[in-house]
Structure 1
């Protein structure tokens, strides 16, 4: 007989987007990169952990004694054990890959009148994230470079500064 216990955790956004020296982001990111097959990594446009801004800030992509590939295998087995299908797992991996790719989106400042607005000079990461999430690249670009205010009659799109876009990302 097999049993399980599921707990709810409040995950901190700050841990995803920033790590102090010697710290890691959430282990699942490193495990994903170590455990997926080369074919799966290619399908999700994934590279080594050191190439992702959300993973390399702490300079702790590899920990002595931590077997990320083995931990990924255990994670997959646990998720299959609670009934997740291969398609559902692929969707989870794609969402995690999208988060990593979002962190690599760079912003530049462009002037419009007296305002400094965020712009994205390269479409590569936007297109990758859009493909992974099955959304429009144009809508994704707009979502991370504009604040949307919804009124009872309209939606108002306000361009963000670079700092605002980094927070929205």
Structure 2
């Protein structure tokens, strides 16, 4: 069965949790979190939860686990905390939870960033995706440009397909 058939069999709507990692953003100033929500909703996906958490390993881990363990949520999307400063620990948290990593997500994100946007500074860009607790997790940088790139070029085109692949061998509810 080819990719196109897989996509035809994929759910039309997926249930999502959006997490913004920031010490300074609020609901009113969270442009990237709001962009993720808008793009998901424009593509008929459902937002079940949204929260802003601080750049703290345990706080980020708790927010991700809460989303993954919620039976209503198929995908957790995280923005922020992916840089190389000492407080940027989102990638380390996500990697500690993953059962399977989608290495292509980070690789292609950096390639697209290099080609379309930021040039050699793409080497500083950390993005990671994978599966934990039968839930897809996508972690992207917190800038609006990075979120737009990741969502439009990678996540939105594949989010339903990813959920289909996670569900296909499980006994979870049908889509």
Structure with the larger RCO, 1 or 2 (CA within 8 Å, 6+ apart): 2
| Length-normalised TM-score, structure 2 | 0.21
Say which one has the larger Rg. 1
Pick the structure with more strand per residue: 2
Q: With the length of structure 1 as denominator, give the TM-score of the two structures.
A: 0.21
